[in-house]
Chains A and B, each alone.
Chain A
Amino acid sequence: MSKALRVDWVGCDGHGVCAELFPEWIRLDDWGYPIIDPRPVPAELVEHARRAVVACPKLALRLADV
Protein backbone atom coordinates (compact mmCIF):
# COMPACT_ATOMS: atom_id res chain seq x y z
CA MET A 1 0.00 0.00 0.00
CA SER A 2 1.34 3.48 -0.76
CA LYS A 3 1.69 6.27 1.75
CA ALA A 4 0.99 9.97 1.47
CA LEU A 5 1.63 12.82 3.88
CA ARG A 6 -1.34 14.57 5.49
CA VAL A 7 -1.45 17.66 7.72
CA ASP A 8 -3.83 18.25 10.60
CA TRP A 9 -4.32 21.95 9.86
CA VAL A 10 -5.87 22.73 13.22
CA GLY A 11 -2.84 21.24 14.94
CA CYS A 12 -0.14 22.68 12.68
CA ASP A 13 1.55 25.81 14.02
CA GLY A 14 3.99 26.28 11.18
CA HIS A 15 7.19 25.31 12.99
CA GLY A 16 8.59 24.24 9.63
CA VAL A 17 10.64 21.28 10.87
CA CYS A 18 8.98 19.01 8.31
CA ALA A 19 10.12 21.08 5.35
CA GLU A 20 13.67 21.09 6.68
CA LEU A 21 13.73 17.34 7.09
CA PHE A 22 11.95 16.43 3.87
CA PRO A 23 12.39 19.24 1.33
CA GLU A 24 11.86 16.80 -1.57
CA TRP A 25 8.19 16.65 -0.62
CA ILE A 26 7.47 19.61 1.62
CA ARG A 27 7.97 23.35 1.08
CA LEU A 28 6.71 26.28 3.13
CA ASP A 29 4.26 28.96 2.07
CA ASP A 30 4.84 32.68 2.65
CA TRP A 31 3.65 32.32 6.25
CA GLY A 32 5.70 29.25 7.16
CA TYR A 33 3.04 26.59 6.79
CA PRO A 34 3.81 23.40 4.88
CA ILE A 35 2.77 22.83 1.30
CA ILE A 36 2.83 19.11 0.80
CA ASP A 37 3.09 17.20 -2.44
CA PRO A 38 -0.19 15.26 -2.39
CA ARG A 39 1.14 12.30 -4.39
CA PRO A 40 2.10 9.03 -2.69
CA VAL A 41 5.61 9.18 -1.28
CA PRO A 42 7.94 6.88 -3.28
CA ALA A 43 9.11 3.85 -1.29
CA GLU A 44 12.72 5.03 -1.26
CA LEU A 45 11.68 8.32 0.40
CA VAL A 46 9.23 6.96 2.96
CA GLU A 47 11.96 6.86 5.62
CA HIS A 48 12.48 10.63 5.19
CA ALA A 49 8.74 11.18 5.41
CA ARG A 50 8.61 9.17 8.61
CA ARG A 51 11.39 11.25 10.12
CA ALA A 52 9.45 14.43 9.36
CA VAL A 53 6.30 12.95 10.93
CA VAL A 54 8.10 12.01 14.14
CA ALA A 55 9.86 15.39 14.41
CA CYS A 56 6.70 17.54 14.18
CA PRO A 57 6.45 19.32 17.55
CA LYS A 58 2.63 19.47 17.23
CA LEU A 59 2.17 15.88 15.99
CA ALA A 60 0.24 17.47 13.13
CA LEU A 61 1.83 15.48 10.32
CA ARG A 62 1.01 11.90 9.53
CA LEU A 63 1.68 9.29 6.92
CA ALA A 64 -1.62 7.91 5.68
CA ASP A 65 -2.38 4.84 3.62
CA VAL A 66 -3.73 5.75 0.22
Chain B
Amino acid sequence: MSAAPVDSAVRAPTPPEGLPRVLAGRRGDGPASLEEHLAHHGSLPRVGQGAKVRKAFVDMVERAGLRGRGGAGFPTAVKLRAVARGRRTPVVLANGAEGEPASRKDELLLADLPHLVLDGAVVAAEAVNASEVIVAVDRASRRVRTSVARALGERRAANVDRVPVRVVDAPSRYVAGEESALVHWVNGGDAKPTTVPPRPYQRGVHGRPTLVQNVETLANLALIARFGDEWFRSVGSPQEPGSALVTVGGAIARPGVCEVGLGTPISAVLEAAGGATEDITTFLVGGYIGSWLPASAATMGLGDDLRAVGATFGCGVLFALPATACGVVETARVARYLANETAGQCGPCVFGLAAIAGALEAVARGERTDTDRLRRWLHDVAGRGACHHPDGAVRFVASALQVFAADVERHLSGMGPCAGAHRPPVLPVPAPGARETGWR
Protein backbone atom coordinates (compact mmCIF):
# COMPACT_ATOMS: atom_id res chain seq x y z
CA MET B 1 0.00 0.00 0.00
CA SER B 2 1.30 3.41 -0.82
CA ALA B 3 -0.23 6.47 0.75
CA ALA B 4 -1.50 8.98 -1.76
CA PRO B 5 -1.70 12.60 -0.70
CA VAL B 6 -5.32 13.68 -0.51
CA ASP B 7 -5.33 17.42 -0.40
CA SER B 8 -1.78 18.34 -1.19
CA ALA B 9 -0.79 21.62 -2.66
CA VAL B 10 2.36 20.12 -4.09
CA ARG B 11 2.19 16.88 -6.04
CA ALA B 12 4.22 14.04 -4.56
CA PRO B 13 7.25 13.40 -6.70
CA THR B 14 8.22 9.87 -7.65
CA PRO B 15 9.47 8.00 -4.60
CA PRO B 16 13.24 8.22 -4.28
CA GLU B 17 14.97 5.03 -5.35
CA GLY B 18 17.88 3.59 -3.40
CA LEU B 19 20.02 5.81 -1.21
CA PRO B 20 20.21 8.40 0.09
CA ARG B 21 16.55 8.67 1.01
CA VAL B 22 16.44 10.40 4.41
CA LEU B 23 19.34 12.65 3.44
CA ALA B 24 18.11 13.06 -0.15
CA GLY B 25 16.94 16.66 0.20
CA ARG B 26 20.14 17.96 1.78
CA ARG B 27 21.57 21.17 0.37
CA GLY B 28 24.95 20.91 2.00
CA ASP B 29 25.07 24.61 2.83
CA GLY B 30 22.40 25.16 5.44
CA PRO B 31 18.88 24.00 6.16
CA ALA B 32 16.45 23.12 3.36
CA SER B 33 13.65 25.68 3.35
CA LEU B 34 9.99 24.63 3.45
CA GLU B 35 9.72 25.39 -0.25
CA GLU B 36 12.75 23.27 -1.10
CA HIS B 37 11.55 20.49 1.17
CA LEU B 38 8.13 20.38 -0.49
CA ALA B 39 9.62 20.57 -3.98
CA HIS B 40 11.75 17.56 -3.12
CA HIS B 41 9.35 15.33 -1.21
CA GLY B 42 5.89 16.71 -1.98
CA SER B 43 3.53 17.74 0.78
CA LEU B 44 2.79 15.57 3.77
CA PRO B 45 -0.35 13.45 3.35
CA ARG B 46 -2.84 13.69 6.19
CA VAL B 47 -3.56 10.65 8.28
CA GLY B 48 -7.15 11.82 8.53
CA GLN B 49 -9.76 11.87 11.28
CA GLY B 50 -11.18 8.87 13.06
CA ALA B 51 -9.88 5.77 14.78
CA LYS B 52 -10.14 3.67 11.65
CA VAL B 53 -7.81 5.70 9.44
CA ARG B 54 -5.41 6.17 12.33
CA LYS B 55 -5.28 2.42 12.80
CA ALA B 56 -4.72 1.96 9.05
CA PHE B 57 -1.74 4.31 9.24
CA VAL B 58 -0.20 2.48 12.21
CA ASP B 59 -0.77 -0.83 10.42
CA MET B 60 1.18 0.57 7.49
CA VAL B 61 4.03 1.57 9.81
CA GLU B 62 3.98 -1.96 11.18
CA ARG B 63 4.19 -3.47 7.69
CA ALA B 64 7.06 -1.09 6.95
CA GLY B 65 8.90 -2.57 9.93
CA LEU B 66 10.25 0.76 11.14
CA ARG B 67 12.14 0.54 14.42
CA GLY B 68 13.45 3.33 16.61
CA ARG B 69 16.74 4.92 15.53
CA GLY B 70 17.63 6.40 18.91
CA GLY B 71 19.44 3.33 20.20
CA ALA B 72 16.97 0.82 21.57
CA GLY B 73 15.49 -0.19 18.20
CA PHE B 74 11.96 -0.57 19.53
CA PRO B 75 9.24 -1.17 16.89
CA THR B 76 7.63 2.19 16.15
CA ALA B 77 4.16 0.78 15.44
CA VAL B 78 4.04 -0.88 18.88
CA LYS B 79 4.88 2.44 20.52
CA LEU B 80 2.30 4.32 18.44
CA ARG B 81 -0.39 1.81 19.46
CA ALA B 82 0.56 1.90 23.14
CA VAL B 83 0.36 5.70 23.22
CA ALA B 84 -2.92 5.81 21.28
CA ARG B 85 -4.48 3.31 23.72
CA GLY B 86 -4.18 5.68 26.69
CA ARG B 87 -7.31 7.30 28.07
CA ARG B 88 -5.95 10.85 27.90
CA THR B 89 -4.96 12.88 24.86
CA PRO B 90 -1.37 12.08 23.94
CA VAL B 91 1.65 14.33 23.38
CA VAL B 92 4.42 13.76 20.84
CA LEU B 93 7.96 14.49 22.01
CA ALA B 94 10.53 14.54 19.21
CA ASN B 95 13.84 13.58 20.75
CA GLY B 96 16.73 15.54 19.30
CA ALA B 97 18.56 15.80 22.61
CA GLU B 98 21.38 13.58 21.48
CA GLY B 99 24.00 13.24 24.18
CA GLU B 100 26.43 10.92 22.42
CA PRO B 101 29.66 12.77 21.58
CA ALA B 102 30.55 10.26 18.84
CA SER B 103 27.21 10.64 17.05
CA ARG B 104 26.33 13.61 14.87
CA LYS B 105 23.34 12.29 12.94
CA ASP B 106 20.53 13.88 14.94
CA GLU B 107 22.26 17.24 14.86
CA LEU B 108 22.77 16.94 11.10
CA LEU B 109 19.12 16.02 10.52
CA LEU B 110 17.77 18.90 12.58
CA ALA B 111 20.27 21.37 11.15
CA ASP B 112 19.89 20.43 7.48
CA LEU B 113 16.48 18.77 7.14
CA PRO B 114 14.31 20.22 9.90
CA HIS B 115 11.11 19.96 7.85
CA LEU B 116 11.46 16.22 7.34
CA VAL B 117 11.72 15.72 11.11
CA LEU B 118 8.84 18.11 11.80
CA ASP B 119 6.70 16.34 9.17
CA GLY B 120 7.36 13.07 10.96
CA ALA B 121 6.44 14.53 14.35
CA VAL B 122 3.23 16.02 12.97
CA VAL B 123 2.19 12.83 11.19
CA ALA B 124 2.95 10.86 14.38
CA ALA B 125 0.73 13.29 16.29
CA GLU B 126 -2.08 12.66 13.83
CA ALA B 127 -1.58 8.90 14.07
CA VAL B 128 -2.01 8.88 17.86
CA ASN B 129 -4.46 11.80 17.91
CA ALA B 130 -2.10 13.95 19.95
CA SER B 131 -2.89 17.57 20.69
CA GLU B 132 0.64 18.86 20.83
CA VAL B 133 4.12 18.30 19.42
CA ILE B 134 7.20 19.22 21.42
CA VAL B 135 10.59 19.14 19.72
CA ALA B 136 13.50 18.80 22.13
CA VAL B 137 16.86 19.91 20.77
CA ASP B 138 20.32 19.86 22.30
CA ARG B 139 20.78 23.45 23.44
CA ALA B 140 24.53 23.30 22.89
CA SER B 141 23.97 23.36 19.12
CA ARG B 142 23.28 26.86 17.91
CA ARG B 143 23.06 25.54 14.33
CA VAL B 144 20.17 23.27 15.30
CA ARG B 145 18.34 25.88 17.37
CA THR B 146 18.49 28.39 14.51
CA SER B 147 17.43 25.89 11.88
CA VAL B 148 14.46 24.51 13.84
CA ALA B 149 13.25 27.95 14.87
CA ARG B 150 13.36 29.12 11.27
CA ALA B 151 11.59 26.00 10.04
CA LEU B 152 8.81 26.42 12.59
CA GLY B 153 8.39 30.04 11.48
CA GLU B 154 8.04 28.96 7.85
CA ARG B 155 5.49 26.31 8.76
CA ARG B 156 3.41 28.71 10.82
CA ALA B 157 3.42 31.29 8.03
CA ALA B 158 2.35 28.63 5.51
CA ASN B 159 -0.11 27.13 8.00
CA VAL B 160 0.87 23.57 7.11
CA ASP B 161 0.55 21.90 10.53
CA ARG B 162 -2.66 20.67 12.07
CA VAL B 163 -1.25 20.50 15.61
CA PRO B 164 0.66 23.12 17.59
CA VAL B 165 4.42 22.52 17.52
CA ARG B 166 6.87 24.05 19.97
CA VAL B 167 10.58 23.63 20.48
CA VAL B 168 12.41 23.26 23.80
CA ASP B 169 16.18 23.56 24.37
CA ALA B 170 17.18 20.55 26.45
CA PRO B 171 20.29 20.34 28.65
CA SER B 172 23.31 19.02 26.79
CA ARG B 173 24.05 15.94 28.89
CA TYR B 174 24.63 12.30 28.11
CA VAL B 175 21.59 10.92 29.91
CA ALA B 176 19.28 13.90 29.26
CA GLY B 177 18.13 12.27 26.03
CA GLU B 178 16.97 9.13 27.85
CA GLU B 179 13.21 9.26 27.40
CA SER B 180 12.12 9.35 31.03
CA ALA B 181 14.79 12.00 31.73
CA LEU B 182 13.60 14.17 28.86
CA VAL B 183 9.98 13.89 29.95
CA HIS B 184 10.91 14.73 33.54
CA TRP B 185 12.75 17.83 32.34
CA VAL B 186 9.89 18.96 30.05
CA ASN B 187 7.64 18.64 33.11
CA GLY B 188 9.86 21.06 35.02
CA GLY B 189 12.20 18.63 36.78
CA ASP B 190 15.86 17.72 36.35
CA ALA B 191 16.85 16.05 33.09
CA LYS B 192 17.51 12.84 34.97
CA PRO B 193 16.00 9.41 34.35
CA THR B 194 13.11 8.46 36.59
CA THR B 195 12.14 5.12 38.00
CA VAL B 196 9.97 3.25 35.48
CA PRO B 197 7.15 2.27 35.30
CA PRO B 198 5.27 4.43 34.64
CA ARG B 199 6.95 4.76 31.25
CA PRO B 200 6.39 7.87 29.13
CA TYR B 201 3.90 6.06 26.88
CA GLN B 202 1.78 5.49 29.99
CA ARG B 203 2.33 8.76 31.83
CA GLY B 204 4.63 11.33 30.30
CA VAL B 205 4.44 15.05 29.56
CA HIS B 206 1.74 16.67 31.78
CA GLY B 207 0.91 13.13 32.94
CA ARG B 208 -0.37 12.29 29.47
CA PRO B 209 0.60 9.34 27.25
CA THR B 210 3.71 10.55 25.45
CA LEU B 211 5.26 9.31 22.25
CA VAL B 212 9.00 9.90 22.55
CA GLN B 213 10.68 9.26 19.21
CA ASN B 214 14.17 9.93 17.98
CA VAL B 215 14.32 12.50 15.18
CA GLU B 216 15.71 10.02 12.63
CA THR B 217 12.77 7.71 13.34
CA LEU B 218 10.41 10.62 12.71
CA ALA B 219 12.16 11.53 9.45
CA ASN B 220 11.55 7.96 8.29
CA LEU B 221 7.93 8.18 9.40
CA ALA B 222 7.52 11.27 7.21
CA LEU B 223 8.78 9.28 4.23
CA ILE B 224 6.62 6.24 4.98
CA ALA B 225 3.57 8.53 5.15
CA ARG B 226 4.39 9.73 1.64
CA PHE B 227 5.72 6.68 -0.15
CA GLY B 228 4.29 3.73 1.77
CA ASP B 229 5.55 0.59 3.44
CA GLU B 230 6.63 -1.31 0.33
CA TRP B 231 8.82 1.56 -0.73
CA PHE B 232 10.30 1.69 2.77
CA ARG B 233 11.23 -1.99 2.66
CA SER B 234 13.04 -1.64 -0.66
CA VAL B 235 16.21 -0.70 1.26
CA GLY B 236 17.82 -2.69 4.06
CA SER B 237 17.17 -6.36 4.77
CA PRO B 238 13.80 -8.14 5.13
CA GLN B 239 14.41 -8.48 8.90
CA GLU B 240 15.65 -4.92 9.25
CA PRO B 241 14.14 -2.74 6.57
CA GLY B 242 15.09 0.83 5.85
CA SER B 243 18.20 2.91 6.03
CA ALA B 244 20.28 4.10 8.94
CA LEU B 245 22.36 7.20 9.46
CA VAL B 246 25.82 6.20 10.59
CA THR B 247 28.33 8.59 12.12
CA VAL B 248 31.64 7.28 10.85
CA GLY B 249 34.77 8.43 12.62
CA GLY B 250 38.40 7.56 13.23
CA ALA B 251 41.04 6.69 10.68
CA ILE B 252 38.89 7.04 7.57
CA ALA B 253 39.08 9.41 4.62
CA ARG B 254 35.69 11.12 4.96
CA PRO B 255 34.46 11.10 8.54
CA GLY B 256 30.90 12.23 9.05
CA VAL B 257 27.35 11.02 8.66
CA CYS B 258 26.45 8.66 5.86
CA GLU B 259 23.25 6.82 5.06
CA VAL B 260 23.36 3.09 4.43
CA GLY B 261 20.86 0.24 4.28
CA LEU B 262 20.45 -1.51 7.63
CA GLY B 263 22.55 -4.65 7.71
CA THR B 264 25.28 -3.21 5.46
CA PRO B 265 28.64 -4.81 6.33
CA ILE B 266 31.01 -2.66 8.36
CA SER B 267 33.63 -2.88 5.58
CA ALA B 268 31.16 -1.48 3.03
CA VAL B 269 30.25 1.41 5.34
CA LEU B 270 33.94 2.26 5.72
CA GLU B 271 34.31 2.18 1.93
CA ALA B 272 31.33 4.51 1.60
CA ALA B 273 33.18 6.90 3.92
CA GLY B 274 36.25 6.89 1.71
CA GLY B 275 38.03 3.89 3.20
CA ALA B 276 40.66 3.58 5.91
CA THR B 277 43.59 5.98 6.06
CA GLU B 278 45.63 3.82 8.47
CA ASP B 279 45.72 0.21 9.61
CA ILE B 280 42.56 -0.54 11.56
CA THR B 281 42.65 -3.13 14.31
CA THR B 282 39.38 -2.44 16.11
CA PHE B 283 35.99 -0.83 15.66
CA LEU B 284 33.70 0.83 18.12
CA VAL B 285 30.03 0.33 17.26
CA GLY B 286 26.98 1.78 18.99
CA GLY B 287 28.69 4.75 20.62
CA TYR B 288 30.09 5.05 24.14
CA ILE B 289 27.58 2.63 25.55
CA GLY B 290 28.35 0.32 22.62
CA SER B 291 31.04 -2.26 22.06
CA TRP B 292 34.56 -2.64 20.75
CA LEU B 293 34.91 -5.25 18.02
CA PRO B 294 38.04 -6.80 16.50
CA ALA B 295 38.95 -6.02 12.87
CA SER B 296 37.67 -9.49 11.92
CA ALA B 297 34.15 -8.14 12.58
CA ALA B 298 34.36 -6.01 9.41
CA THR B 299 32.26 -8.56 7.54
CA MET B 300 29.38 -8.20 10.01
CA GLY B 301 26.31 -6.20 9.08
CA LEU B 302 25.55 -3.00 10.99
CA GLY B 303 22.32 -4.04 12.65
CA ASP B 304 20.94 -7.15 14.32
CA ASP B 305 23.98 -9.14 13.14
CA LEU B 306 25.92 -7.49 15.94
CA ARG B 307 23.79 -9.12 18.62
CA ALA B 308 25.55 -12.39 17.92
CA VAL B 309 28.65 -10.88 19.54
CA GLY B 310 26.79 -9.05 22.29
CA ALA B 311 26.96 -5.68 20.53
CA THR B 312 24.21 -3.40 19.25
CA PHE B 313 24.03 -0.84 16.49
CA GLY B 314 22.73 1.65 19.05
CA CYS B 315 22.55 5.19 17.75
CA GLY B 316 24.58 4.44 14.64
CA VAL B 317 28.20 5.10 15.54
CA LEU B 318 31.04 3.38 13.72
CA PHE B 319 34.50 4.42 14.82
CA ALA B 320 37.61 2.90 13.24
CA LEU B 321 40.47 2.90 15.75
CA PRO B 322 43.87 3.19 14.09
CA ALA B 323 46.36 0.49 15.02
CA THR B 324 48.71 3.14 16.39
CA ALA B 325 46.24 4.30 19.04
CA CYS B 326 45.96 2.65 22.46
CA GLY B 327 42.58 1.06 23.10
CA VAL B 328 43.17 1.01 26.84
CA VAL B 329 43.83 4.75 27.01
CA GLU B 330 40.85 5.51 24.77
CA THR B 331 38.55 3.32 26.85
CA ALA B 332 39.75 4.79 30.15
CA ARG B 333 39.10 8.29 28.90
CA VAL B 334 35.57 7.49 27.75
CA ALA B 335 34.87 5.48 30.92
CA ARG B 336 35.75 8.54 33.02
CA TYR B 337 33.51 10.69 30.84
CA LEU B 338 30.62 8.23 31.30
CA ALA B 339 31.24 8.11 35.06
CA ASN B 340 31.10 11.91 35.19
CA GLU B 341 27.88 11.89 33.20
CA THR B 342 26.02 9.81 35.77
CA ALA B 343 22.84 11.48 36.91
CA GLY B 344 24.08 10.79 40.44
CA GLN B 345 20.90 9.06 41.53
CA CYS B 346 21.74 5.36 41.78
CA GLY B 347 24.55 4.09 44.01
CA PRO B 348 25.96 1.37 41.76
CA CYS B 349 26.23 3.88 38.88
CA VAL B 350 27.73 6.70 40.97
CA PHE B 351 30.33 4.59 42.80
CA GLY B 352 30.68 1.72 40.37
CA LEU B 353 31.39 3.72 37.22
CA ALA B 354 33.87 5.95 39.07
CA ALA B 355 35.71 2.90 40.46
CA ILE B 356 35.75 1.22 37.05
CA ALA B 357 37.11 4.37 35.39
CA GLY B 358 39.77 4.65 38.10
CA ALA B 359 40.92 1.06 37.59
CA LEU B 360 41.11 1.56 33.82
CA GLU B 361 43.11 4.74 34.25
CA ALA B 362 45.56 2.84 36.42
CA VAL B 363 45.92 0.18 33.71
CA ALA B 364 46.37 2.92 31.12
CA ARG B 365 49.25 4.38 33.16
CA GLY B 366 50.80 0.94 33.45
CA GLU B 367 50.21 0.69 37.20
CA ARG B 368 49.53 -2.61 38.89
CA THR B 369 45.79 -3.15 38.93
CA ASP B 370 43.53 -5.88 40.24
CA THR B 371 41.79 -6.77 36.97
CA ASP B 372 39.79 -9.57 38.62
CA ARG B 373 38.24 -6.98 40.86
CA LEU B 374 37.58 -4.75 37.85
CA ARG B 375 35.79 -7.64 36.13
CA ARG B 376 33.72 -8.30 39.25
CA TRP B 377 32.70 -4.63 39.34
CA LEU B 378 31.61 -4.82 35.71
CA HIS B 379 29.49 -7.82 36.55
CA ASP B 380 28.06 -6.29 39.73
CA VAL B 381 27.09 -2.90 38.30
CA ALA B 382 25.17 -4.17 35.26
CA GLY B 383 21.40 -3.93 35.51
CA ARG B 384 21.39 -1.98 38.77
CA GLY B 385 20.15 1.49 37.85
CA ALA B 386 16.93 3.34 37.07
CA CYS B 387 18.14 3.69 33.47
CA HIS B 388 20.56 1.75 31.29
CA HIS B 389 23.46 4.19 31.56
CA PRO B 390 25.49 1.90 33.86
CA ASP B 391 24.65 -1.17 31.74
CA GLY B 392 25.90 0.54 28.61
CA ALA B 393 29.07 1.82 30.26
CA VAL B 394 29.82 -1.63 31.60
CA ARG B 395 29.25 -3.27 28.23
CA PHE B 396 31.63 -0.80 26.63
CA VAL B 397 34.39 -1.47 29.19
CA ALA B 398 33.84 -5.24 29.19
CA SER B 399 34.21 -5.34 25.41
CA ALA B 400 37.45 -3.37 25.74
CA LEU B 401 38.92 -5.88 28.21
CA GLN B 402 38.16 -8.59 25.67
CA VAL B 403 39.28 -6.89 22.47
CA PHE B 404 42.31 -5.16 24.02
CA ALA B 405 43.30 -8.11 26.23
CA ALA B 406 46.84 -8.14 24.82
CA ASP B 407 47.23 -4.39 25.37
CA VAL B 408 45.98 -4.67 28.95
CA GLU B 409 48.55 -7.41 29.57
CA ARG B 410 51.30 -5.31 28.03
CA HIS B 411 50.35 -2.31 30.21
CA LEU B 412 50.47 -4.49 33.32
CA SER B 413 53.68 -6.28 32.40
CA GLY B 414 55.91 -3.76 34.14
CA MET B 415 57.19 -2.35 30.87
CA GLY B 416 54.81 0.59 31.19
CA PRO B 417 52.20 1.79 28.72
CA CYS B 418 52.48 0.95 25.03
CA ALA B 419 53.70 3.44 22.43
CA GLY B 420 50.13 4.27 21.42
CA ALA B 421 49.40 5.56 24.91
CA HIS B 422 51.57 8.59 24.16
CA ARG B 423 49.77 9.75 21.04
CA PRO B 424 46.90 12.22 21.38
CA PRO B 425 43.60 10.45 22.04
CA VAL B 426 41.32 10.00 19.03
CA LEU B 427 37.81 9.40 20.41
CA PRO B 428 35.87 12.66 20.79
CA VAL B 429 35.21 13.45 24.44
CA PRO B 430 34.03 16.93 25.45
CA ALA B 431 36.59 18.76 27.57
CA PRO B 432 35.57 18.91 31.25
CA GLY B 433 35.32 22.70 31.14
CA ALA B 434 33.13 22.65 28.03
CA ARG B 435 30.48 20.41 29.53
CA GLU B 436 27.16 21.49 30.87
CA THR B 437 26.98 20.84 34.60
CA GLY B 438 23.37 21.71 35.46
CA TRP B 439 20.31 19.53 35.00
CA ARG B 440 17.62 22.12 34.25
**Residue pair A33, B347 in contact (C-beta under 8 Å):** yes
**Residue pair A31, B348 in contact (C-beta under 8 Å):** yes
Cα A59 to Cα B381 with chains together (Å):
21
Chain B interface SS verdict (over half): helix
Q: B413 on the interface (CB 8 Å rule)? A: no
* Minimum distance in angstroms from A37 CB to a CB of chain B: 13
| Contact among B351, B355, B380, B386 for A9, CB-based, below 8 A | B386
Interface bin, chain A:
10 to 19
Cα A14 to Cα B377 with chains together (Å):
16
**Residue pair B194, A29 in contact (C-beta under 8 Å):** no
Which residue of chain A lies nearest to B346 when distances are taken between CB atoms in the complex?
A9
Which residue of chain B lies nearest to A31 when distances are taken between CB atoms in the complex?
B351
Q: A20 on the interface (CB 8 Å rule)? A: no
**Residue pair A29, B345 in contact (C-beta under 8 Å):** no
| Contact among B195, B377, B380 for A8, CB-based, below 8 A | B195
**Residue pair B384, A9 in contact (C-beta under 8 Å):** yes
Residues in A whose Cβ lies below 8 Å from that of B385: 9
Residues in B whose Cβ lies below 8 Å from that of A13: 347
Interface string of A3-43 (1 = CB under 8 A from B): 00001111111100000000000000111110100000000
Which residue of chain A lies nearest to B385 when distances are taken between CB atoms in the complex?
A9
Which residue of chain B lies nearest to A11 when distances are taken between CB atoms in the complex?
B195
**Residue pair A9, B352 in contact (C-beta under 8 Å):** no
Residues in A whose Cβ lies below 8 Å from that of B351: 30-31, 33
**Residue pair B347, A31 in contact (C-beta under 8 Å):** yes
**Residue pair B194, A35 in contact (C-beta under 8 Å):** no
Question: Which of the listed residues A9, A12, A30, A33 has the most CB atoms from chain B within 10 Å of its own CB?
Answer: A9
Question: Which of the listed residues A7, A10, A12 has the most CB atoms from chain B within 10 Å of its own CB?
Answer: A10
Which residue of chain A lies nearest to B345 when distances are taken between CB atoms in the complex?
A10
Which residue of chain B lies nearest to A33 when distances are taken between CB atoms in the complex?
B347
Interface string of B225-251 (1 = CB under 8 A from A): 000000000000000000000000000
**Residue pair A30, B377 in contact (C-beta under 8 Å):** yes
* Minimum distance in angstroms from A27 CB to a CB of chain B: 10
Cα A19 to Cα B384 with chains together (Å):
16
Cα A32 to Cα B380 with chains together (Å):
12
* Minimum distance in angstroms from A33 CB to a CB of chain B: 4
Chain B residues 193 to 212 lying within 8 A of chain A, measured CB to CB, are 194-195
| Contact among A7, A8, A10, A31 for B352, CB-based, below 8 A | A31
Knowing A31-B348, A33-B347 are in contact, say whether A10-B386 is a contact too (CB < 8 A).
yes
Ranked 10 nearest A-B pairs via Cβ: A9-B346, A31-B351, A33-B347, A10-B345, A10-B386, A29-B380, A9-B386, A14-B347, A10-B195, A9-B385
Residue pairs across A and B with Cβ atoms less than 8 A apart, 15 shown, are A7-B384, A8-B195, A9-B346, A9-B348, A9-B349, A10-B195, A10-B345, A12-B347, A29-B348, A29-B380, A30-B355, A30-B377, A31-B348, A33-B384, A35-B380
